[in-house]
């Protein structure tokens, strides 16, 4: 068992990474569906980063859409690690 080392680690391990384009990431979590309290917490945490332009959390679908300017985000070492992980773990749909 791997113990999460940050909130990002916990978030990323509990979602499906459904799409990634530089500047736009969509995540899904069944835990978010119908859970407004969790949705507010996820929103507050992700939106607290000044490098992230916009966060949309939809508790009806369990979706989280994150938009950012890649050159701005990549100035933050922690967020670069998160983006690299997301890039390499995005769910490939046929």
Domain span at residue 64? 7-89
More confident residue, 4 or 5: 5
Let me know if residue 20 belongs to a domain.
yes
Q: Domains in the chain: how many in total?
A: 1
pTM: 0.89
The tokens describing 94, both together, are 């046929």
Read off the pLDDT band of 93 (50, 70, 90). low
Confidence of residue 2 (pLDDT cuts 50, 70, 90): low
Which residues does 5 contact at the CB level (< 8 Å), separation at least 6?
Answer: none
The 3 state secondary structure assigned to the chain is CCCCCCHHHHHHHCCEEEEEECCEEEEECHHHCCCHHHHHHHHHHHHCCCCEEEEEEECCCCEEEEEECHHHHCCCHHHHHHHHHHHHHCCCCC
Is residue 94 in a domain? no
> Would residue 82 count as lying in a domain?
yes
């Amino acid at each position: 068992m791997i113990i999460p080392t940050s909130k990002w680690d916990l978030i990323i391990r509990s979602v499906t990474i459904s799409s990634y384009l530089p500047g736009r990431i969509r995540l899904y979590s069944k835990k978010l569906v119908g859970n407004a309290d969790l949705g507010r917490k996820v929103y507050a945490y992700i939106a607290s980063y000044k490098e992230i332009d916009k966060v949309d959390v939809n508790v009806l679908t369990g979706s989280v859409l994150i938009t950012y300017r890649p050159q701005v985000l990549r100035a933050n070492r922690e967020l670069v690690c998160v983006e690299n992980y997301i890039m390499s773990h995005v769910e490939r749909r046929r």
